[in-house]
Amino acid sequence: MNRTQLVSTIRQKKTYLCVGLDTDITKIPIHLLSEPDPVFSFNKAIIDATKDHCVAYKINTAFYESRGLKGWESMERTVRYIPDTHFRIADAKRGDIGNTSAQYAKTFFEILPFDAVTVAPYMGEDSVRPFLEYPDKWTIVLALTSNTGSKDFQQLGMAEGDCLYERVLETTASWGSTKNLMFVVGATKTTELEHIRTIIPDHFLLVPGVGAQGGSLKEVSASGMNKDCGLLINASRAIIFADDTEKFAKKAAAVAAAYSAEMAAYLH
């Protein structure tokens, strides 16, 4: 999905919600555990219930890789089930030397039909470049995350007075364009969002942390939105684990619909 298509979908559906499929098998409703593939059955029901209220899905690969072959099969079934009308993100946080990154890029962009993959830029341009070589695919670079440990490196002051995350934004933005690069900025970093927009005014931002992590949808939207919206706001646990009974999908739809309705009010 290219930028024009993504922006058009956001405008048409009047939402910029991304549903995170961080599917922990220990938290899904117990009645699904008798299914041949409980995780896929859960994901399928969530997708069917929420697809009218979102424009993207983000699959956190850790929850699938930790289950070995069965988990990988669940992930592949899930990404192939997501409609082509939706933006599909592999939250894999990859990053390695060039020839290894090329294999990661092949995995998510050729073998699996993802539109985007999250990457860690710590090893530099040659570790990110292989992902950027794919037309109409997106590389989502970790910039300023919402976890407590972000202060250990991301917010360290540089000799020139900038923080390290600012250098990451400035440098990485030059490796690609607004058509193939996004950045991860945590929803709990709203104080920094307005400043980040002075560095990368036109790029899309993937913003996790709304909902269970306490990020404010209103504040993120006010600080981070640009002329093309420029935001994909992810909510995972608040939606998919809103209920643990047989009514889980219905409850997920209601929560997603509420997020979407609020987003419609902020779009301009």
By the 8 A CB rule, do 64 and 39 touch? yes
Kindly name the residue from 93, 151, 227, 250 that is annotated as catalytic.
93
Paired tokens of 235: 């909510």
**Contact (Cβ atoms closer than 8 angstroms) between residue 82 and residue 57:** yes
> What is the C-alpha separation between 106 and 222, in angstroms, rounded?
36
CA distances, 124 to each of 153, 154, 160, 175 (Å): 15, 15, 20, 10
Pairing of strands 204-207, 138-144: unpaired
Query: Does 51 qualify as catalytic in the annotation?
Result: no
Residues tagged active-site: 93
